[in-house]
Amino acid sequence: MNQANQISPMPDKDWWRGAVIYQIYPRSYQDSNADGIGDLRGITARLPHIASLGADAIWISPFFTSPMKDFGYDVSDYCDVDPIFGTLDDFDLLIAEAHRLNIRVMIDLVLSHTSDLHPWFVESRSSLTNPKADWYVWADPAPDGTPPTNWLSIFGGSAWQWDTRRLQYFLHNFLTSQPDLNFHNPEVQDALLDVTRFWLQKGVDGFRLDTINFYFHDKHLRHNPALAPELRNAQTAPAVNPYNHQEHLYDKSQPENLEFLKRFRAVLDEYPAITAVGEVGDSQRGLEIAGEYTSGGDKVHMCYAFEFLAPDALTPVSVKATQEKFQLVAPEGWACWAFSNHDVMRHISRWGSNVHDVAGYAKLLSALLMTLRGSVCIYQGEELGLPEADLAFEDLQDPYGIQFWPNYKGRDGCRTPMVWEKAAPNGGFSLVKPWLPVPANHLELAVDAENVETSSILNQYRQFLAFRRRHPAFAKGEIEFLDAGNEVLSFTRMHGNEALLCIFNMSEHSVVAELPEGGWEALDGHGFPSEQNERNISLSAWGAWFARRT
């Protein structure tokens, strides 16, 4: 058994249910060797910060060998660390230190596609008859030479790329340098399950599965139908992208995926206390697909869709509708909610561009995220209240932003380096010029600056996570929404003998909220001031109140 497995946290097989997972984008967390790019040793050095937050686990975005056309999401070797991030020995040290701090480690598995430099694809494209000829999605052209279907790439243009070696098209749902694997081939599935076992044997505690609903394509290569304009939204692709003009019935979310996920889960169940969270990218059926993939206890443990990563600001109505819809379409399932990640504008900027009290808004959103039914993902820098970085075109690295500039600026604005020290060069991230610039307005929010400010967003995260841990109903309990008007969100969380009441003022002015029937004892230690006058609660702008049923 790997040494890291021996020192892993106590094997609670349901630790993931209600867990708080801290996402790390390794290029931008901490540079340990002065090359301007974050790395595994840098993550290890900063684990005490995550432990101080009280997070249960980390999720590390890809660090595998890669040409970095999509910054690690284009894998050329699934079982090694790219030299810019370090070595496998560095990863072993990271796991050992995380487990010493009682932090579980989840890694990002990108199974739907590889880099075009992966040896599998190099062999596959070499001929029509080689042993891996059918490991990727190849198709002959239409009679007029055009692509075999009308499927579109999320990164723009056709999802098919002509290959002059095989005189066929290959499928790529993302960059042309990211060919899709053919999951209809059992050998492909077996190879990817072997990859999964490799990392389990290294001691990981779970996986985040990138683009989990993109694994299979329609074997019959049917065209996607058009989607009516009134049904389009920008949840999974920016509004400027014609990807939103199709109903994606055939290029993803195929029924065969359920059987593969059962095979995947069977591998996980060979090891104690392992979990998997799937990313579901679908603008019309995201919650339904998440329900399918988390049903029955024999597929993935939890999924997250894009409802709370969307451009539209949260309201009491939208939060209630999303939670209740998930309960309806996924009665057996479990969600993992996030407001920000490495692919979307940071939520403070996405939703709060017109908010005056940004810090108050950030604190309200953090408390809301951590009291909804489901597990939680926090994206690095979110605990500081970092806004989206405003970068110049010449600073962009993301091919997605370069393609759709200026109406869509890509994902670099949420990927700028973490800021650790207000007065240090590059915010303490690196001793040299970083791969992306550190915005000047981020330095005021650096960890060392917020550490010493009692009322900072960072200290509010710490305080509220500690408050959450004291009340298991927040992590494990059922949820029931109460009618509280258009500005106030009110719900109860119930687990065992504990019933908790949560009231949020989601407006920029003070409100008075009425208590529901029954006896309620106000809870403290969460950082939100309020006044109670018999059955009425006075809440300041972006205020919250929590109580226990007596």
DSSP letter at 26? G
H or E stretch covering 20: strand 20-24
Cβ-contact 487, 502 below 8 angstroms: no
Cα(92)–Cα(62) distance, integer angstroms: 16
Residue 136: count other Cβ atoms within 10 Å of its Cβ: 26
Cα(160)–Cα(224) distance, integer angstroms: 14
Strand partners, 544: 504
Binning the chain into helix, strand and coil, the percentages to the nearest 5 are 30, 20, 50
CA neighbor of 457 nearest in space, from 176, 23, 125, 53: 53
Cis peptide before 406 (omega within 30 of 0): yes
Residue 382 designated active-site: no
| Catalytic, out of 270, 312, 324, 390 | 270
Output the six-digit token pair for 241: 């992208």
DSSP H helices in 35-81: 40-53
Cα(113)–Cα(369) distance, integer angstroms: 31
One-letter amino acid for residue 143 of the chain: P
Phi-psi label, residue 503: left if phi above 0, alpha if psi -120 to 50, beta otherwise: beta
Q: Are strands 302-304 and 275-279 parallel, antiparallel or unpaired?
A: parallel
SS3 160: strand
Side-chain-side CA neighbours of residue 449 (13 Å): 19
SS3 302: strand
Q: Which residues contact 141 (CB under 8 A, 6 or more apart)?
A: 147, 148, 162, 168, 169
Residue 15 CA to chain centroid, in angstroms? 18
Residue 470: count other Cβ atoms within 10 Å of its Cβ: 10
Output the six-digit token pair for 30: 């901490």
Cα(81)–Cα(193) distance, integer angstroms: 18
Output the six-digit token pair for 381: 């820098």
Output the six-digit token pair for 307: 């409802």
Cα(15)–Cα(1) distance, integer angstroms: 22
H or E stretch covering 257: helix 257-268
Cα(476)–Cα(548) distance, integer angstroms: 16
Strand partners, 482: 490
| Catalytic, out of 97, 108, 116, 210 | 210
Residue 239: count other Cβ atoms within 10 Å of its Cβ: 12
DSSP letter at 339? S
Residue 357 designated active-site: no
Residue 391 CA to chain centroid, in angstroms? 23
Side-chain-side CA neighbours of residue 122 (13 Å): 6
Tell me the catalytic residues: 210, 270
